[in-house]
Every structure is written in structure tokens, then in C-alpha cells.
């Protein structure tokens, strides 16, 4: 029986039961097979981007149009005013509008509000509260969708679990999945690795998170992933040895993320990184796996995160993942809003 999530916010995968996420994905598979036409005619989805995007913006905008609904996309600071989130301050700085007023206004126009707001990556204790997204959640009176924040990228997580289900013919339980840290030219947020760890846990996979020391994911997310995986019949463990972790793996998911230990201090993080062995995913490392599929959320820095040989191989499923954003998000919108009567 279908599960009713109409009217809820979609901020973190961990706000949802595994059964609810799988129910969204069951619909996503029906949509991918084009079993019929789904309509959100007469609805409007407003998207606010505080940061750049290729996949999230296009997959949402196209998906909304395919559902007969109307997308409105605003780049904050360009199409829309810079927005303040702090409460009770004299707004005499760069932001002419408060999220309190923007969220209440947009709630009178649209049916769903979706927001991308990356962390500032200076103050971890502030970033981990997702101040911009939390302010929208406080003041908006329509379903709010997280298009990637400091803590999670749940739409990516949805598409990633959908891709795992495809790779394993729907049976993801106990499959050996490795989320590996990889190098990058700058420290990156924790949102994607957090959401992938939770998504693979929901799949009941045996998840190994491979990273150098000092690159631990947030402990609360690790605890959630372990609990979710346990309930789904899987497990979560950590390895500091990338090549050991790759042995027998059926999926390798590469992603770079920052060290919370050096938060806000790129110089110190890169000094530490200089002493690490290479964590770039290459053919030799992939040869240790059980013919693993290679996953990454994109965008990817070729020959830094993973080599061309890995990315251009038949076992690389990055475009399948990117396509699944479209199907998974359309299913999410239909589940949050309920279909329009035609």
C-alpha cells in the first residue's frame, strides 16, 4: 500500500523511514518505465539557489515541466535579493530582505519551495544547524525540499539508492558498497557522503566508509546510518585503508569531503593531506574489486578524484545516477503534493 507523505518537508533522508524512501523510489521506477503520465497541473515549484548547479537545477526544472507544473528558478543575489537569516539584528549589511519575509511571501505563491544553500565552511557548529534551510523551514508554510545543504543532499541520496537498486536488480541487501574519500583541489561539504551513507544503509548494504584519519563523517550521521543499516539487514564500518576496503567491493562511490578537524582552515587541511598516500581512484584500485560499478554524484574533477580510465569505463554509472535524479525527484514531488485531479 502506498505511503502518504503529502505536505511534509524533505530536508534529510534521516527524517524518513526506509519504507517511505522505498515507496518514493517504487514510484520513480514506474515513472522511469513511463507506465503512464503523472500530472501536477496547476502547481508551482519555486527553487532558490544560493549556489551554482547543473544537475539539480536542470533535472528539477525539466521534471516539473514533465509533470505539467510550473517551475520558478531564482538565483539568490542575482534574480532575487540577498537574504538574511539571523534573527533580531539590524539589517544594515548586504542583505536587503530577511528569510522570514521571503519564505512567508513565497508560501503565498507556490506549492513547493526548494532551496540549495551550501555551508560557509568557516564555523562548523553554525553550519551543522543548516541556518538558511532551517530558517526557511521555520517560516515557510509549504513543503520545503533540500537541494543540498551543509548536512545532507537528500535528492542525490534518493537517486543514489535508486541506482543501487538498479545495479543489484532491486536486491541491495548485504551487497558490499564502499564510499571512499578522494582528493580535491578544495575542501568540500559533507552533504553528499552523509546522504549516500544513509541511502546505502537504507538499502541494507554492507557499507564500508574508507577515508584517511581525521576525515570522519559527523558522528550523529554515522550513528543514524548504523541504526538504519542494522534494521535493513546491513552494516556500516570504517576503514583507513582504501585498497583493503576495495577488495571484493561491488560498488565504489567516490567523493571528496572536508576534515571537520581542520574546519575553516584550508591551509592546515592541505598541509595534512600532503602527507597522505594517493586516494585517487584508478584502474589498479578498481581491479581489486569484484567488478565494482563506479559511482559519483558529479561534478567530478577528472584525474584528481578518479582517472579518465575509471570514468570512461563501462562499469561507471555516473550518468545513470544523474538521470535518476530526474525520476526520483518527480516521484518525490508527486508524493509531497498528491496528483492533480484531471
Contacts to ligand CP by CB under 6 A? 53-56, 148, 156, 297-299
**Closer residue to ligand CP, CB minimum distance, 293 or 325:** 325
Q: Cell digits for 319?
A: 550518468
Q: Which is nearer to ligand CP, 54 or 223 (CB)?
A: 54
Q: Which residue's CB is nearer to ligand CP, number 289 or number 321? A: 321
- Residue whose CB is less far from ligand CP, 54 or 276: 54
Residue 77 beta carbon to ligand CP: minimum distance, rounded to whole angstroms: 17
Q: Which is nearer to ligand CP, 39 or 53 (CB)?
A: 53
Q: Which residue is nearest to ligand CP (CB)?
A: 56
Residues with Cβ within 8 Å of residue 196, at least 6 apart in sequence: 156, 157, 160, 179, 253, 255, 297
In the complex, minimum distance from the CB of residue 85 to ligand CP, in angstroms, rounded to a whole number = 21
Q: How far is the CB of 286 from ligand CP (least distance, A)?
A: 22
* Closest CB 338 distance from ligand CP, rounded Å: 26
Residue with cell 530558517: 135
Retrieve residue 308's grid coordinates: 579518465
Task: Output DSSP code: residue 15.
Answer: G
What phi and psi values does residue 177 have, to the nearest 5 degrees? -120, 130
Nearer to ligand CP, 117 or 156 (CB): 156
φ, ψ dihedrals at 106, nearest 5°: -65, -25
Shortest Cβ distance from residue 73 to ligand CP (Å)? 12
Nearest to 186 by CA among 305, 322, 311, 279: 305
Least CB distance from residue 44 to ligand CP, whole Å?
21
Residue of 202, 210, 208, 184 lying closest to 302 (CA atoms): 184
CA pair distance 263, 120, nearest whole angstrom: 10
Strand 176-181 and strand 251-255: the pairing is parallel
Amino acid at each position: 500500500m502506498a505511503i502518504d507523505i503529502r505536505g511534509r518537508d524533505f530536508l534529510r533522508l534521516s527524517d524518513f523511514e526506509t519504507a517511505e524512501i522505498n515507496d518514493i523510489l517504487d514510484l520513480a521506477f514506474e515513472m522511469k518505465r513511463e507506465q503512464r503520465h503523472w500530472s501536477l497541473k496547476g502547481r508551482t515549484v519555486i527553487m532558490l539557489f544560493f549556489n551554482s548547479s547543473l544537475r539539480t537545477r536542470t533535472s528539477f526544472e525539466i521534471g516539473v515541466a514533465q509533470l505539467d507544473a510550473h517551475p520558478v528558478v531564482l538565483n539568490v543575489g542575482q534574480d532575487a535579493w540577498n537574504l538574511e537569516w539571523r534573527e533580531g539584528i539590524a539589517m544594515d549589511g548586504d542583505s536587503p530582505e530577511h528569510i522570514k519575509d521571503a519564505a512567508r511571501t513565497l508560501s503565498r505563491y507556490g506549492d513547493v519551495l526548494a532551496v540549495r544553500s551550501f555551508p560557509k565552511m568557516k564555523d562548523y557548529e553554525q553550519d551543522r544547524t543548516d541556518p538558511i534551510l532551517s530558517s526557511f523551514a521555520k517560516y515557510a508554510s509549504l513543503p520545503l525540499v533540500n537541494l543540498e545543504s551543509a548536512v545532507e543532499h537528500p535528492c542525490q541520496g534518493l537517486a543514489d539508492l535508486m541506482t543501487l537498486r538498479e545495479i543489484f536488480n532491486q536486491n541491495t541487501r548485504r551487497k558490499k558498497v564502499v564510499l571512499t574519500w578522494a582528493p580535491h583541489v578544495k575542501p568540500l561539504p559533507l552533504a553528499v557522503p552523509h546522504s549516500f551513507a544513509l541511502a546505502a544503509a537504507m538499502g541494507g548494504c554492507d557499507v564500508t566508509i574508507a577515508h584517511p584519519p581525521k576525515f570522519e563523517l559527523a558522528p550523529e550521521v554515522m550513528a543514524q546510518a548504523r541504526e538504519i543499516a542494522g534494521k535493513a539487514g546491513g552494516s556500516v564500518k570504517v576503514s583507513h585503508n582504501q585498497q583493503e576496503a576495495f577488495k571484493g567491493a561491488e560498488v565504489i562511490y567516490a567523493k571528496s569531503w572536508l576534515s571537520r578537524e581542520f574546519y575553516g582552515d584550508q591551509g592546515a587541511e592541505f598541509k595534512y593531506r600532503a602527507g597522505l598516500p594517493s586516494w585517487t581512484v584508478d584502474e589498479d584500485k578498481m581491479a581489486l574489486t569484484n567488478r565494482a560499478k563506479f559511482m559519483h554524484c558529479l561534478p567530478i574533477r577528472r584525474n584528481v578524484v578518479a582517472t579518465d580510465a575509471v570514468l570512461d569505463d563501462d562499469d561507471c554509472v555516473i550518468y545513470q545516477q544523474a538521470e535518476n535524479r530526474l525520476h526520483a525527484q518527480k516521484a518525490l514531488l508527486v508524493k509531497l503534493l498528491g496528483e492533480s485531479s484531471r
